[in-house]
């Protein structure tokens, strides 16, 4: 007989447990994307193994190659060749042969051996790509390619000069075809005036030929290459002298004889030149004359006259008042005003104008200087001083502001009327100016005739900032004269200018000086300014600079919603700050399974299998946050990549981190070697962290903001989309052109000019 339980609680607890288990069981059938039970799989330890004969032979081959022991090297290579193919790795023969080839002293022999090795070899794309780079790194072949680029540029120019007018004539009618073809031919011939004796590509070829001669001075073709170098160096001399002569002429025409002398000497550095010597002499004479005038202005009279004693008294009073901050005495001001038309009237008038300015009579002071500047400069030395003060934008910023404003308004009108021809014909600066006008006359006329249409359709096109120089002078005036008479006018103009170009921060600062501004308008302006600062913070990668920008937004705009958000974001960023932000996206892990697999990170396969029921990585993937910590970005409960992920930090072992860093760097560089589009961008902080991780030196994270990397490893699909753009195998493109401004339509083939090499900027 079984006693009945006197306490019903055990039965209720049992029933409750069964109910919860049933709910959990039912819940397992529902889609859930929470945190996976296991993020990483256990590391696979490499089993102990005994070295095979091929391993021993490879070790002997490497040791012999390091010390360049040729007999042992040949012996080890023979041992590897004798091993049956099924007992050695697939690429062992090619790798061994490449090691042997690398010990050759002559680069030409190494390239020749690498070329023979690549023929019939295609097992490892990475090795094949590296050998192709070795073969292509031939100075003579590269120099020949650069010379061919020069001729191809010439051919592309000739082809396009003929194809474009013919294509436009087909679509627009043959009525204007003769004029179009004649104009294109004239421009084609005039374009040669812009060419230099030695082009950029030919300069590259010259450097490559020099490099070849330096490496192989005893080569059989050394004399032939030296002849090419001598011919190119003569062209280089003419090119550099022509550049320096143009700079000297420009400096002399603009009134800078010292710069003209320097440029002429730089031209003579390349060799004797008659025009350069003439320019140097002319510029040197101007410099000598200027120095003589300077010496004359420093001269002093031999005897003191009555006027000199008055000048002495005036100088003493000027020194006394300048040290105390007081103005000139009424008596001295009266003397100056009385003597304004006398022998020393220019000096008196100049000092009187300065006294007016210091007393707050700004406009009166400039009027006095204008009156003085109208006198004959050959009879008074003070006239040029007055003219200098009037024309100097630092001393007279308001007048400079008014002049620049009128000038830029005229420039803007001229640009609206003539578009790119607003500053005159500049397409062929080396031709005589009348000839340049004749060549570009039809274009100037067309631009002027179609200006009304351009003004209508060009309203939405952003044009040049014509008012930028004017704004600089306006700010300079406010800085020099914070209580100036024209402050209100200048502030209102600057306020409209800053709002027009979208600089709300500067507009808000100016609004603080405009008492008549509506409070609601100022509040809206403050919101826009704070949003602008937040946008600047989003574009900043470094944590310390971004934090500084956010602090500025929070302290400067505390009464705005964006300013409040900036303060909260500072707290969030400080809480979530990490020494590194190197991110590996989920798509990259799927595209490169070796990184995610057991030989790399060893991530749980369920996180990248696309099944939401067992947990899945967010598209953001994984972030290396510094030290030995990884941050896993997991999908939220909704299972959507558009929502913020659930972040889980997990520390890993030093061994696993070193393995991940090695495989990640090796895979990305191998991908770049095989596919040039899969570029690995330069990032010194990323490389430094991965190198330290491989060595196990990340126990103490480097938390300096300057050491943080924000590099992101992306897959090819994330970079280029579903279909990657490719260049046509044809050497030309079919161009369809239409211009509503000049009402021209056309379709024509355009020959593609050779692309510039990455180092081309060094030879310009």
CA distance 707 to 188: 53
Q: Mean pLDDT lowest for which of 187-191, 310-314, 509-513, 605-609?
A: 310-314
**Residue 564 within any structural domain of the chain:** no
**Is pLDDT above 90 for 372?**
no
Q: For residue 28, what pLDDT band results from cuts at 50, 70 and 90? A: very low
Per-residue pLDDT, averaged over 536-553, amounts to 90
**Is pLDDT above 60 for 231?**
yes
Query: For the chain, what is the domain count?
Result: 3
Tokens representing 619? Answer: 């598209």
420 or 696, higher pLDDT:
696
CB-facing half-sphere around the CA of 210: CA atoms within 13 A:
10
Q: For residue 35, what pLDDT band results from cuts at 50, 70 and 90? A: very low
> Pairing between strand 646-651 and 629-634?
antiparallel
* pLDDT at residue 122, rounded to an integer: 61
* pLDDT at residue 328, rounded to an integer: 60
**Residue 19 within any structural domain of the chain:** no
Q: What percent of the chain has pLDDT over 90?
A: 41
Edge-to-edge strands of the sheet including 629-634?
Answer: 646-651, 629-634, 617-624, 582-584, 712-713
Nearest residue to 517 (alpha-carbon basis) of 509, 467, 473, 561: 509
CA distance 377 to 373: 8
Per-residue pLDDT, averaged over 214-223, amounts to 91
Q: Mean pLDDT lowest for which of 64-68, 130-134, 373-377?
A: 373-377
Q: For residue 36, what pLDDT band results from cuts at 50, 70 and 90? A: very low
pLDDT, mean over the chain: 84
Do residues 610 and 639 lie in contact, with contact meaning Cβ atoms separated by under 8 Å? no
* pLDDT at residue 469, rounded to an integer: 92
Q: What percent of the chain has pLDDT over 70?
A: 85
Which of 331, 360, 391 terminates a domain? The answer is: 391
Nearest residue to 341 (alpha-carbon basis) of 355, 329, 328, 352: 352
- The model's pLDDT over 659-705, given as tens digits with 9 standing for 90+, comes to 999 999 999 999 998 888 888 999 999 999 999 999 999 888 888 88
> Pairing between strand 712-713 and 732-739?
unpaired
Per-residue pLDDT, averaged over 476-500, amounts to 91
* pLDDT at residue 319, rounded to an integer: 60
Q: Where are the alpha helices (DSSP H) in 513-653?
A: 519-538, 543-556, 561-575, 586-591, 593-596
CA distance 560 to 570: 16
**Residue 158 within any structural domain of the chain:** no
**Residue 213 within any structural domain of the chain:** no
- The model's pLDDT over 741-753, given as tens digits with 9 standing for 90+, comes to 445 667 888 899 9
Tokens representing 348? Answer: 């008196």
Q: Mean pLDDT lowest for which of 200-204, 209-213, 448-452, 540-544?
A: 448-452
Q: For residue 383, what pLDDT band results from cuts at 50, 70 and 90? A: confident
Which of 370, 391, 412 terminates a domain? The answer is: 391
Per-residue pLDDT, averaged over 256-271, amounts to 95
State the residue for tokens 């009618």: 173
What does R_g of the chain's alpha carbons equal in angstroms? 39
Q: For residue 60, what pLDDT band results from cuts at 50, 70 and 90? A: very high
**Is pLDDT above 80 for 66?**
yes
Beta strands in 216-352 (DSSP E): none
Per-residue pLDDT, averaged over 418-428, amounts to 80
Beta strands in 321-418 (DSSP E): none
CB-facing half-sphere around the CA of 253: CA atoms within 13 A:
6
**Residue 115 within any structural domain of the chain:** yes
Taking the model in full, what pTM does it have?
Answer: 0.75
**Residue 632 within any structural domain of the chain:** yes
Which of 119, 137, 155 terminates a domain? The answer is: 137
* pLDDT at residue 746, rounded to an integer: 73
CA distance 401 to 397: 6
**Residue 551 within any structural domain of the chain:** no
CA distance 270 to 266: 7
Structural domain boundaries, residue 131: 53-137
CA distance 502 to 479: 22
CA distance 200 to 723: 35
Cβ burial of 671 (10 Å; 0-12, 13-18, 19+) is: buried
Nearest residue to 466 (alpha-carbon basis) of 406, 398, 399, 391: 406
Do residues 674 and 129 lie in contact, with contact meaning Cβ atoms separated by under 8 Å? yes
Per-residue pLDDT, averaged over 341-348, amounts to 61
Backbone angles phi, psi at 84, to 5 degrees: -60, 150
Cβ burial of 341 (10 Å; 0-12, 13-18, 19+) is: exposed
If you write DSSP's letter for every residue of 67-128 in order, what string do you get?
Answer: HT-HHHHHHHHHHHHHS-GGGS-TTHHHHHHHHHHHT-S-HHHHHHHHHHHHTT--S-HHHH
- The model's pLDDT over 716-744, given as tens digits with 9 standing for 90+, comes to 989 888 777 777 778 888 887 765 544 56
Quick check: helix, strand or coil at residue 623? Answer: strand
**Residue 44 within any structural domain of the chain:** no
Q: For residue 15, what pLDDT band results from cuts at 50, 70 and 90? A: very low
CA distance 498 to 483: 21
**Is pLDDT above 60 for 247?**
yes
The 10 Å CB-count burial string (b at 16+, else e) for 128-166 is bbbbeebbeebbbebbebbbebbebbeebeebbbebbbb
């Amino acid at each position: 007989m079984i006693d009945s339980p006197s306490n019903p609680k055990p039965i209720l607890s049992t029933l409750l447990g069964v109910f919860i288990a049933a709910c959990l069981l039912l819940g397992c059938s529902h889609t859930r994307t929470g945190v996976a039970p296991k993020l990483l799989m256990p590391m696979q330890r490499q089993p102990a193994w005994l070295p095979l004969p091929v391993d021993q032979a490879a070790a002997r081959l490497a040791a012999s190659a390091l010390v360049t022991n040729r007999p042992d090297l040949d012996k080890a290579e023979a041992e590897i060749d004798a091993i049956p193919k099924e007992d050695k790795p697939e690429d062992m023969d090619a790798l061994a042969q490449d090691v042997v080839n690398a010990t050759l002293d002559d680069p030409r022999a190494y390239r020749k051996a690498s070329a023979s090795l690549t023929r019939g070899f295609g097992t490892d794309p990475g090795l094949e790509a590296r050998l192709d780079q070795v073969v292509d790194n031939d100075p003579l072949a590269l120099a020949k390619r650069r010379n061919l680029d020069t001729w191809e540029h010439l051919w592309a120019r000739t082809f396009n000069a003929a194809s474009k007018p013919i294509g436009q004539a087909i679509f627009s009618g043959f009525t204007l075809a003769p004029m179009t073809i004649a104009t294109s031919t004239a421009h084609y011939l005039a374009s040669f005036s812009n060419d230099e004796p030695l082009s950029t590509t030919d300069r590259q070829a010259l450097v490559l030929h020099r490099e070849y001669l330096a490496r192989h001075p005893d080569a059989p073709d050394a004399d032939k290459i030296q002849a090419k170098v001598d011919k190119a160096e003569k062209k280089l001399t003419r090119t550099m002298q022509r550049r320096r002569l143009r700079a000297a002429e420009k400096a002399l025409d603009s009134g800078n004889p010292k710069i003209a002398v320097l440029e002429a000497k730089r031209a003579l550095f390349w060799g004797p030149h008659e025009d350069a010597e003439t320019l140097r002499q002319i510029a040197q004479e101007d410099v000598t004359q200027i120095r003589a005038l300077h010496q004359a202005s420093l001269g002093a009279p031999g005897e003191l006259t009555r006027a000199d004693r008055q000048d002495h008294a005036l100088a003493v009073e000027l020194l006394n008042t300048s040290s105390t901050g007081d103005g000139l005495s009424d008596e001295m001001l009266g003397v100056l005003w009385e003597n304004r038309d006398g022998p020393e009237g220019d000096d008196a008038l100049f000092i009187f104008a300065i006294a007016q300015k210091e007393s707050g009579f700004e406009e009166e002071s400039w009027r006095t200087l204008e009156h003085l500047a109208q006198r004959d400069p050959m009879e008074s030395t003070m006239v040029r001083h007055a003219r200098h003060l009037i024309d100097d934008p630092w001393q007279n910023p308001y007048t400079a502001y008014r002049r620049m404003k009128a000038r830029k308004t005229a420039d803007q009108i001229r640009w609206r009327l003539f578009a790119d021809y607003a500053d005159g014909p500049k397409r062929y600066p080396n031709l005589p100016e009348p000839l340049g006008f004749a060549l570009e006359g039809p274009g100037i006329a067309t631009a002027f005739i179609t200006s009304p249409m351009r003004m209508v359709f060009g309203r939405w096109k952003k044009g040049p900032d014509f008012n930028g120089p004017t704004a600089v002078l306006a700010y300079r005036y406010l800085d020099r004269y914070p209580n100036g008479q024209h402050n209100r006018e200048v502030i209102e103009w600057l306020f409209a200018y800053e709002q027009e170009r979208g600089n709300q921060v500067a507009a808000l600062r100016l609004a603080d000086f405009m008492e008549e501004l509506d409070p609601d308008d100022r509040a809206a302006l403050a919101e826009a300014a704070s949003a602008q600062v937040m946008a600047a913070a989003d574009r900043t990668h470094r944590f310390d600079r971004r934090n500084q920008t956010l602090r500025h937004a929070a302290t400067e705009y505390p009464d705005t919603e964006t300013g409040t958000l900036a303060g909260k974001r500072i707290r969030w960023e400080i809480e979530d700050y990490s020494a590194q932000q190197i991110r590996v996206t989920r798509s990259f892990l799927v595209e490169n399974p070796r990184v995610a697999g057991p030989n790399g990170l060893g991530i749980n396969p369920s996180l990248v299998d696309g099944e939401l029921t067992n947990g899945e990585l967010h598209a953001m993937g994984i972030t290396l946050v510094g030290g030995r910590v990884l941050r896993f970005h997991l999908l939220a409960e909704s299972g959507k990549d558009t929502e913020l992920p659930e972040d889980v930090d997990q520390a890993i072992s030093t061994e696993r981190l070193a393995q991940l860093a090695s495989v990640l760097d090796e895979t990305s560089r191998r991908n770049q070697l095989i596919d040039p589009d899969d570029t690995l961008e330069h990032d010194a902080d990323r490389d430094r962290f991965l190198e330290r991780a491989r060595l196990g030196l990340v126990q103490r994270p480097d938390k300096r903001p300057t050491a943080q990397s924000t590099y992101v490893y992306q897959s090819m699909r994330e970079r280029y989309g579903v279909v990657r753009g490719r260049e046509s195998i044809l050497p030309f493109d079919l161009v369809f052109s239409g211009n509503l401004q000049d009402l021209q339509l056309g379709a024509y083939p355009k020959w593609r000019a050779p692309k510039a090499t990455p180092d081309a900027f060094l030879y310009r």
